[in-house]
Amino acid sequence: MKTYIWIALLVAIAGVSAQPTADILRYFQNPEPHITLKPKITTADRIAAHGYPAETHGVITEDGYNITLFRIPYSHKLQNQNAQRPIVLLQHGLHSSSDAWMAVGPDDGIGFNLADAGYDVWFGNARGTTYGRNHISKSTNHPYFWRFSWHEIGQYDIAAMIDYILVVNGQGQKAIHYVGHSQGTTVFFALMSTRPEYNEKIKTAHMLAPVAYIGNMSDKFVTTLAPILGHHNAYAAFFDSQEFIPHNELFTKLLYNACSPKSKLHGLCSSIAYLVEGSESNKNMTALPIILETHPAGASTNQMCHYMQAQQSGCFCLYDHGPKKNMELYGQATPPEYPVEWITSEVHLWYSDNDDWAHLDDVERLAVKLPNRIMHHMEDPTWAHGDFAVHKEVKKYISDPIIEIMNKYENLNE
């Protein structure tokens, strides 16, 4: 009986539920039922759907990963393709992808707002995500593909994105603006502190919910597992170098078909989002079905383990491989701390009191070490970690202030 229930669910999600009951029953009688699913759309498709020019770019990192960048080169409203357009790179958080920046739509989405303000906007994707599942020699079926943490995403992916973008822009620009959320901030700190020459390629950097020191974090998933997986032991070794929540193409297509705006089950996705977030949520509820449709977008278990190590140690350190390998890699038995005091670029820290990842004390601990930081404390005491991306007034409290800061740097008129 359970088999038939699952078949019925799959058929319903695929849109077959609109057929009469008699037509549904024939799927149970057919030993090889054919379910037609609409193909998933990409970030570029979502951009183009709102009338903006959209580009897709493939970038090969120094260590062979093929990652995808999406771009809004100019605004169709401004028709400014021949004007000087400052560059902005937006980088997503853990388990996310460039699709997350699309969730709140063209009116409130920071990428669209930046394009309409005259910027050349790029959306990054880390290795292991929906748009980073290729390598010049490694298969996603092999653990070697997943042998990376957010350290490598910063060291190689973000560095490759910056270098590629500066060349493709073609306007002779030497630096970009950067906006990162959650892990998108961690990878920035990792790159800028260990390859400090990249600070010269940053105009302003905006860290939304900055995650570096996380000893005081309250996220239940991490705090529950960190005492076990946040140390170099047999449990962590068993969890090592795998895809966290393995990608299933059928499952992701089913979610896309169920939660897309034209689906008859779109209301169900909205209801689920409402149940999860509650009526008191700050989040833009129309954005959550898109998040359900596209997330989780893929990550390595090592990324999770690295965060758990940071939670347990209380330090912002490189990956702990155990004393023997640490000696080989770092010349010491324990992993060294990231020298964040070497980050000389203009760093804006956007933080709040109700963030279960970026605790106020941890953010302030980081801020003390950054030589060129500007603090932006969210006054709303209920402002949470995800609100920096999908708050119902994200344009007012995040996008507009960031654009104002960038415009001031660029000496652009309002």
**What are the φ/ψ torsions at residue 58 (nearest 5 degrees)?**
-100, 135
DSSP H helices in 209-300: 220-229, 234-239, 249-259, 266-277, 288-294
**What are the φ/ψ torsions at residue 235 (nearest 5 degrees)?**
-65, -45
How far, in Å, CA of 321 to CA of 253, rounded? 36
From 108, 120, 355, 362, active-site residue: 355
From 75, 97, 149, 182, active-site residue: 182
How far, in Å, CA of 98 to CA of 126, rounded? 9
Q: Is 361 a catalytic residue?
A: no
First to last CA, the chain: 64
At a CB cut-off of 8 Å and minimum separation 6, what does 193 contact?
338, 339, 340, 341, 342, 343
Q: Is 266 a catalytic residue?
A: no
At a CB cut-off of 8 Å and minimum separation 6, what does 348 contact?
204, 205, 206, 207, 373, 374, 376, 402, 405
Q: Is 400 a catalytic residue?
A: no
From 135, 385, 387, 391, active-site residue: 385
Task: Check: CB of residue 382 under 8 Å from CB of residue 234.
Answer: no
- Which residues are known to be catalytic? 182, 355, 385
